[in-house]
Amino acid sequence: MDMYIEAPDDLGGYVRMYEVAELIRRGAPLYLKFGLSKAPGIYPYGHHMRELTLATAKERVRRGRLALDLLARHGADGDMAPLGSRLPGDLQRFEISS
């Protein structure tokens, strides 16, 4: 499921950075999205907006790193899909009783 951790203003502008671990725990597998609240809209993109678009992309990556660091500080950074993977890997959410 795709879920905004930080939504663009036109989608509400909310920020859920400190809720990331609990959101993952309850809803995994999740694809976390960073839409940057308080950032200017860049779509439709054109060459005239190249610098703004690149700066926005860099900030999204920085926010993603902040989320990963936050998960690591709380000991919730294990069992992630391999970087670059399009698949979530083996799902073992529920114990199987025999």
- Written as tens digits, the pLDDT of the chain (98 aa) is 888 888 888 788 888 888 888 888 888 778 888 888 878 777 777 788 889 889 988 999 999 899 989 888 888 777 676 667 776 666 666 666 66
* Domain contains 64: yes
* Domain contains 33: yes
Place of tokens 């199987």: 96
Number of domains into which the chain is organized: 1
* Domain contains 61: yes
Rg of the chain over all Cα atoms, to the nearest angstrom: 16
* Domain contains 82: no
Give the pLDDT of residue 62.
93
* Domain contains 80: no
Query: Distance (Å, rounded) from C-alpha 62 to C-alpha 86?
Result: 21
Residue 89's closest CA among 81, 98, 79?
A: 81
The range of the structural domain enclosing residue 11 comes to 2-73
Place of tokens 């950032």: 39
* Domain contains 20: yes
Structure tokens at 38: 């308080």
Within 8 A by CB and 6+ apart from 42, the residues are 49, 52, 53, 56
Give the pLDDT of residue 46.
79
